[in-house]
Amino acid sequence: RKVVAKFFDPLYFYDEEGYLDSFAVVRRHVHNECEAYQRLASLQGSQIPTFLGLYLAALPAPDDPAWPTPSSSRNVYVLLTEFVEGTVLGDMRTDELSTDERCQIMDEVFELESHLFTLGVRHDDYRPQNLILLPQTVGSIGLTLLVLDFEQCSFYAETEVKKWDSSPVSRTARLAKRWSSDLSHRHSRWILGGWLDQQYGTLIWCDA
């Protein structure tokens, strides 16, 4: 069985400004990943990878006199998930797909993001590089996307989810808030002109 090991190593955390506490950020990332996999347990193996556990691994300590605790090793968190065969959306060439095929994929992108939200998870790094199209022919019935990498997530209580998911109008307003700027920019290669309006109505562009 192939697995993916994701190392949360503060030593290699990149902070361009140099202001962040790398250990605190890594702890938050670990918490977010585990919380997301717990909340999205019903999607494991179908629309998110199967979670195989969080472990501590002993890695060699840096050969650096400035290292605060002289030791031969240091412990870092390692998250294991199943390896998923498929094509990363960010690697696909949209100009090689028909309009119908692109629209079919974007339908699934929208539906998956909404499904995550109904389970209390907002993926804050929801972009083509974190979406995998499972092996199948584009255009076939039952197209399946899988999302991964949950270190940048926000979580909602059930009451908050119900508020935004209580009616078609509130659901469209939430989509507007998510897709009118940031997410539409991240998926700009995939979204066809006027398609958002056509699929989800003019409310998609309102400032909700």
Residue 147 has pLDDT above 60, yes or no: yes
Question: Would you state the pLDDT for residue 3?
Answer: 96
10-49 pLDDT per residue, tens:
877 777 676 778 889 999 999 999 999 999 999 999 999 9
Q: What confidence score (pLDDT) does residue 102 get?
A: 83
User: What's the pTM?
Assistant: 0.81
Q: Tokens 């095929």 identify what position?
A: 101
Q: Rounded to 5 degrees, what are φ and ψ at 138?
A: -60, 135
Six token digits for residue 37:
């996999």
Beta strands in 61-111 (DSSP E): 73-82, 87-88
How many Å apart are CA 122 and CA 118, to the nearest integer? Answer: 9
- Report d(CA 15, CA 67) in Å as an integer: 18
d(CA 184, CA 193): 11
Q: What is the per-residue pLDDT for 14?
A: 73
Nearest CA among 125, 103, 87, 86 for reference residue 190 = 103
Domains of the chain, with CATH numbers? 3-82 (no CATH), 87-205 (1.10.510)
144 has a pLDDT exceeding 50: yes
